[in-house]
A and B are shown apart, each in its own frame.
Chain A
Amino acid sequence: MRHKAPWWALCLVLFLLVNTATEVWARPDDLPRLFAKAQTRRLHEQRYWQVLLHYQKHSQGWRSPIDDPDFFLAPGGKADPAAELDATIQAFFGGDEQERNIARCRFPARYEWLSQELDVDAGLPLARCPDLGLALERLAPQSATLVFPGSYPNSPASMFGHTLLNFSGSRESKLLAHAANYSAFTDESNGFAYAAKGLTGLYRGYFSLLPYYEKLKEYRGLERRDIWEYPLNLTAEETRRMFLHLWELRDIYSDYFFFDENCSYNLLFLLEAARPSLRLTDSKPLWVLPVDTIRWLDREGLLGDAWFRPSLATVLQREMASLSTDDLHVALSLAKGALPVAGLDTLAADADARRRILQVAARAVEQDFLSRRIDLPRYRTRVLELLAARSRLGRSEDADGAAERLIRPDHGHGPTRFSLGAGYVAGGWVQEIRYRPVYHDLLDDQAGYLAGAQIVLGQVAVRYLHETQRPRLERLDLVDLRSLAPVTPWQTPISWQVRLGAEQMRIDEDSARLAFHFNPGAGYSARYGTFTGYVLVESELRVGGGLDEGYGMGVGGSMGLLIERGAWRGLGRIRFLDYPLGDRHESARLAFDQNYRLDRNHSLTLEFSRRLDLGRWDSTALMFWNRYW
Chain B
Amino acid sequence: MKIRIFLGSLVGLMLVTGGAWAGQARTNCGCGLGTLLWADRADGSILSQTMQVSTNGFLGSQTFGITSGTLGCEQPENIGADDQLFAYVRDNLDGLAQDMAFGEGEHLDTLAELMAVPEGQRDFFSGKLQASFGDIFVTGSESPELVLDRIRMIAG
Q: Do A and B come from one complex?
A: yes
Given A376-B28, A379-B33, answer yes or no on A286-B66 (Cβ-Cβ < 8 Å). no
Central interface residue in B28, B39, B100, B104, by most chain A CB within 10 Å:
B39
In the complex, are the beta carbons of B10 and A479 less than 8 A apart? yes
Verify if B47 is at the interface (C-beta below 8 Å from A).
yes
In the complex, are the beta carbons of B44 and A371 less than 8 A apart? yes
In the complex, are the beta carbons of A201 and B54 less than 8 A apart? no
Verify if B145 is at the interface (C-beta below 8 Å from A).
no
In the complex, are the beta carbons of A195 and B63 less than 8 A apart? no
In the complex, are the beta carbons of B57 and A183 less than 8 A apart? yes
In the complex, are the beta carbons of B54 and A198 less than 8 A apart? yes
In the complex, are the beta carbons of B51 and A194 less than 8 A apart? yes
What separation, in Å, do the CA atoms of A234 and B21 have in the docked complex? 44
For A223, list chain B residues within 8 Å (CB). Answer: 49, 53
Given A157-B51, A200-B5, answer yes or no on A195-B12 (Cβ-Cβ < 8 Å). yes
Least CB distance from B129 to A in Å reads 9
B51: contacting residue among A131, A195, A208, CB under 8 A: A195
Least CB distance from B30 to A in Å reads 9
Verify if B14 is at the interface (C-beta below 8 Å from A).
yes
Verify if A296 is at the interface (C-beta below 8 Å from B).
no
What separation, in Å, do the CA atoms of A191 and B21 have in the docked complex? 6
What separation, in Å, do the CA atoms of A210 and B59 have in the docked complex? 13
Chain B residues numbered 73-131 whose CB sits less than 8 Å from any CB in chain A: 84, 87-88, 91-92, 94-95, 97-98, 100-104, 106-107, 109-110, 113-114, 126-127, 130-131
For chain A, the count of residues having a C-beta within 8 Å of the partner chain is 94
Central interface residue in A157, A196, A206, A259, by most chain B CB within 10 Å:
A157
For B95, list chain A residues within 8 Å (CB). Answer: 213
For B33, list chain A residues within 8 Å (CB). Answer: 379-380, 383-384
A135: contacting residue among B62, B66, B126, CB under 8 A: B66
In the complex, are the beta carbons of A209 and B110 less than 8 A apart? no
In the complex, are the beta carbons of A359 and B102 less than 8 A apart? yes
Given A201-B5, A223-B49, answer yes or no on A479-B66 (Cβ-Cβ < 8 Å). no
Given A194-B51, A213-B91, A380-B140, answer yes or no on A395-B104 (Cβ-Cβ < 8 Å). yes
In the complex, are the beta carbons of A372 and B14 less than 8 A apart? no
Instruction: Give 6 CB contacts A-B under 8 Å.
Output: A134-B66, A157-B53, A384-B139, A388-B133, A391-B130, A520-B17
- CB within 8 Å of A: which residues of B? 3-5, 7-23, 28, 32-41, 43-45, 47, 49-51, 53-59, 62-69, 84, 87-88, 91-92, 94-95, 97-98, 100-104, 106-107, 109-110, 113-114, 126-127, 130-131, 133-134, 137, 139-141
- CB within 8 Å of B: which residues of A? 131, 134-135, 138-139, 152, 155-158, 162, 171-176, 178, 181-192, 194-201, 203, 206-211, 213-215, 217-218, 221-223, 250-251, 256-260, 262-263, 286-287, 359, 362-363, 366, 369-372, 376, 379-381, 383-384, 387-388, 390-392, 394-396, 457-458, 478-479, 481, 498, 500, 520
